Structure 1
Amino acid sequence: MTSSQSVDVALIGGGIMSATLASLISQLEPSWKIEIFERLGEVAQESSNPWNNAGTGHSALCELNYTPQDKDGTVNISKALNINEQFQVSRQYWSHLIEKGQLTDPNTFINSTPHMTFVRGEDNVKFLRERYELLKGQPLFEGMEYSEDPKVINRWAPLLMKKRLKEDQPFAATWQQAGTDVDFGALTHQLFDAAEASGARLRLNNEVKDLTREKDGTWRIRYRHTVGKTPGVTRARFVFVGAGGWALKLLQKSGIPEIKGYGVFPISGQFLRTDNPKVVDQHKTKVYSKAAVGAPPMSVPHLDARMVDGNPSLLFGPYAGFSPKFLKKGHWWDIIQQVRPGNLIPMLAVAKDNPDLIIYLLKELAASKHKKFEALKEFVPTADPKDWYLITAGQRAQVMKKDPKKGGILQFGTEVISSADGSISGLLGASPGASTAVPIMLNVLGRCFPNKKAEWEPKLREMIPTYGSMLNDSDRVDDVLSETAETLNIKR
């Protein structure tokens, strides 16, 4: 057995969340010892891998599920404003790391890619028009354009409009050049490289098997090498579990009462992908539309321009599916092993209250390759099956939790779970997670180290100029957006 050692911080999981937290702590507390555990042979192999997600810099410029309609039919933009604010925090922090030389050429992980919303039908056009009218006056959404003219939309996204210009039904679209495409895999690698250069230790091929609270308040972490099966033990003052769907399993093993009542519902998916330059060169945007009735928000259809390792591609999807695994490289019995007396009723309530989701997933599972391609042709009328092939996306573990009225609810988005004493924290959920990793990890730090707030604040303001304030309401919004755009080499 590897001898026991003690560290200040243990991070479980080699994705964008742990990488971001390692980066922040390395700068705020350079003397702290950090150890990172990843069960696979490389970091960023699950949801942070660029081919396991759509790479959208989620800033609510095009995602309609961030501007839902209230019961009276009015469009609610509050979530869109909040998500854009959070993305700007990430942008500021990435810009700081570029200036400090801790991230390399920004275009290795972020590139300008216009964000566009495209809808058809009178009701959808009315909705999009109202959404645009509400957003256009917000400083963070400045520059958004709207059109119902097929010729204008054709100029923005010609691949969508071929063979469609003479259709009778109404179209509408918004277009924002300030959108981005982010390779979260490349970003994760660079953040971990910088953390290691600052003294953090990355343990690849090491799977954490158990978490036990010691009498002195520290955590005993038992792990095992996945190749030689050599066991080891580490003790840590603070533990963060950023292991995707497996975060639930590890938090349950920790025994903290805060995790009781939580479960996760795994949803898998696929994308159609093309690398054919003749097709890719015709589409330079990320286009989102409306989800089908009963579909989860992560299944909103979109045609995404991607840039991975300097090579452009297009993705269309996602096609939702089901797997009992909590990770793409998880275990078939994950969904069963999560069941506890405290979360059984909430999970049954979710199943009872979401028949549309279950029906939707069954239809998606039964869909043939031909039917999946027909869905693409709804977006791209000239699509040729010879140019496109299916790839499997990452697993998404949607949060299920107790609800006093319904018994249990299915929650889309991310949720931080922390112990009362702040010695352990973990993250459950999915999109827009990666894009908002910096504010999410700042939330973790604030929850778990409240006594450090005053000490850290000057450094945090240096790294994130708008820390603690709302950029959209600030007279600095133009300067901050322009400065981060210049540093990251993206359009304003």
Structure 2
Amino acid sequence: MDYDVVLVGGGIMTATLGMLLRKVAPDWSILVLERLDGLGLESSSAWNNAGTGHAGLCEFNYTPLDGAGSIDVGSAVTVGEQFHVSKHFWAKLVADGLLGEPEDFIRTVPHFGFAHGAAGVEHLRLRYEALRHHPLFEGMTMTQDRDLMSEWLPLMFDDRSPEDDVALCRSGGGTDVDYGVLTRRLCSALEGDGAEIRTGQEVRSLSRSRNGWDLQVRDLEGDRTYGVHGSFVFLGAGGATLPLLQRAGVDEVSHYGGFPISGQFLRTDAAHLVSQHRAKVYGHAEPGAPAISVPHLDTRIVDGREYLMFGPFAAFSPRFLKRGALLDLPRSVTARNWTTYAGAGIHNQEMVRYLIGQLAMTDKMRTRSLRRFVPTADSADWQLSTAGQRVQVVKRVGGRGTIAGFGTEIVTPRKGRMAALLGASPGASASASIMADVLARSFPDRMSGWSDALQELIPDFGVTSSERAVRMATAVSANDGVLKLSGTVAQRKYD
């Protein structure tokens, strides 16, 4: 069976790339293969991620401080631009009648930065001053007024000690996103436009052919193996991507490894708690803790029901997928990458210590962390749940093995037309930008012919960052109107 495009994995990234390809190359045949019996069930599932529209509004880890006390907001601006590109993409598809009602997958939920202690408050102040005049961050409000903080977030501040040194920064344009629903809507639209989507299909291996790639696929329900040929292949299979690249003998990842990290959250649907908190509130990492440990207390809306989630607490499993195998990690160690793994362990001791500390946490310790946000928290109201599995890229940087950041990484082999996605956050929020980059890197010879179609879906594609921010800001209200979001207008009225 021959296809112009074979997309492996049934998550938000694959669905996004599929829609982009369908718009720019409507005559191409597209096949989507997903191992599970449904779409958007791994990292894109509502309970397997934080459900945040990551726009850099309040997350401290996107605005690190340097040793001299100055702040770098470059990552926050980049993530903000990427999320607005995704919103534009979704708004265009909603306007075209392809995604149904937008409130089924995206809703306005204000985002807050929460600082405690003198150092934390100063970090928040520097962040606020550096971003508040940027076109994509206008309308931010910072306060240490206890009455106003109680009005905004009663669950966190009504019973807080007046001795606490705290501050808040509010952004009314934040969102809660159900990426599982969005993935399924995108795939439904893709299938309705002629693409073939098969679930319960596990790609076992792939190999280069003269004009593309040959894949061996296992039909898990029919218990048979068959072959598929794709002129272009995209691997967006989460933790399964690295093993597939290794089996294919892709030289570019010969020294790569993967470090699996699982997350746990405390969750509640208690009405007396949920009714007092409609927000996503991000704190900052404790001294000595890695940036990924930033705690947050989030409103989540799943299947029309509201919850609160607090976390994350790191956990560990050798699986590369939540529904993966216990041997995933040991099988990924090869004669060519074992020194990369060893170097990563030596040079990421802070991460190792943090993980060990997290694994040793008791229920009382987790409740104590929650009380930093909710002073009156009762452990009986909260249940511990395990979120999705993430695999961080482990590779050689500067000649030594290290965990190479916590973003996403695109791999495009020199031989054979293929793209693969490794890594994690902010992934889903930046899906449209990342997949547009996949197109540019995989089909450089076709981009000039695709530019008009891409301009409709990806605003200002190819425009410089400084120009893009201003031009994007003018489109925010229009996109929010299509997506039925009230954040931008409500934020300005409130302030």
Q: TM-score category by the smaller chain?
A: over 0.9
Match of 1:113 in 2: 109
In 2, Cα distance between equivalents of 1:47 and 1:407: 26
SS at match of 2:404: strand
Deviations 1:99-158 (A, max 9, x none): 111111110000000000101111111111011000001010001110122222222211
User: How far apart are 1:369 and its partner, in Å?
Assistant: 1.6
Match status 1:138 vs 2:129: no
Aligned match of 1:191: 186
Identity of aligned residues (%): 43
Query: CA separation in 2, counterparts of 1:123 and 1:173?
Result: 14
Deviation at 1:292, TM superposition (A): 3.1
**Structure 1: distance between partners of 2:212 and 2:479:** 39
By how many angstroms is 1:169 displaced? 3.3
CA contact (8 A) 2:7 2:14 kept: yes
Q: Does 1:390 align with 2:384?
A: yes
Greater alpha carbon shift after TM alignment, 406-415 vs 394-403: 406-415
User: For residue 204 of structure 1, what is the aligned residue in structure 2?
Assistant: 199
1:434 offset after TM fit, Å? 0.4
1:96 corresponds to which residue? 92
* Bigger shift: residues 225-234 or 244-253: 225-234
1:182 and 2:195 aligned: no
Q: Where does 1:461-480 land on structure 2 (aligned, <5 Å)? A: 461-470=455-464, 473=467, 475-480=470-475
Asked if 1 retains the 8 angstrom alpha-carbon contact of 2:433 and 2:458, the reply is no
Tell me the amino acid that sits aligned with residue 204 of structure 1: T
Distance 1:292 1:123 in 2: 11
1:347 aligned to 2:341? Answer: yes
Q: Compute the TM-score of the two structures, normalised by the length of structure 1.
A: 0.96
- Secondary structure of 1:251's partner? helix
2:396 is the counterpart of 1:402? yes
Aligned to 2:491: none
Q: Distance in 2 between matches of 1:222 and 1:408?
A: 32
Q: Residues of 2 paired with 1:297 and 1:235: CA distance?
A: 42
Q: 1:358: Cα distance to partner?
A: 1.1
The residue aligned with 1:359 is 353
Structure 2, gaps ≥5 residues long: 489-495
C-alpha distance in structure 1 between counterparts of 2:443 and 2:473, whole Å:
32
The within-5 A match list for 1:84-483 is 84-166=80-162, 168-214=163-209, 216-421=210-415, 423-470=417-464, 473=467, 475-483=470-478
CA distance in 2, matches of 1:342, 1:348: 12
Alignment: residue pair count: 486
8 Å contact kept, 2:231–2:417: yes
TM-score, normalisation: structure 2? 0.96
* Cα separation, partners in 2 of 1:421 and 1:456, compared to 1, 3 Å: farther
Amino acid at match of 2:199: L
Checking the alignment, whether the CA contact within 8 Å between 1:346 and 1:409 is kept in structure 2 is no
Give 1:464 shift: 2.6
**Map of 2:11 onto structure 1:** 15
Q: Is the alpha carbon distance of 1:126 and 1:323 closer, same or farther for their aligned partners in structure 2, counting shifts above 3 Å?
A: same
CA–CA distance in structure 2, aligned partners of residues 383 and 407 of structure 1 = 41
Answer yes or no: is the 8 Å Cα contact 2:112–2:281 preserved in 1.
yes
Number of the residue aligned with 2:69 = 73
- Summarize deviations over 1:411-432 as a string: whole Å, max 9, x none: 2111001112461111111110
Range moving further from structure 2, 457-466 or 122-131: 457-466
Partner of residue 24 from structure 2, selected from 10, 25, 28: 28
Q: In 2 relative to 1, CA 329–296 (structure 1 residues): closer, same or farther, beyond 3 Å? A: farther
Structure 1 unaligned blocks of 5 or more = none
Q: Is the 8 A contact 2:208 2:416 kept in 1?
A: no
CA distance in 2, matches of 1:405, 1:219: 32
Which of 43, 46, 60 in structure 2 is aligned with 1:47?
A: 43
Offset at residue 470 of structure 1 (A): 4.8
Aligned partner of residue 229 in structure 2, secondary structure: strand
Could you tell me how far apart the structure 2 residues matched to 1:325 and 1:204 are?
21
CA contact 1:162–1:382 (8 Å) conserved in 2: no
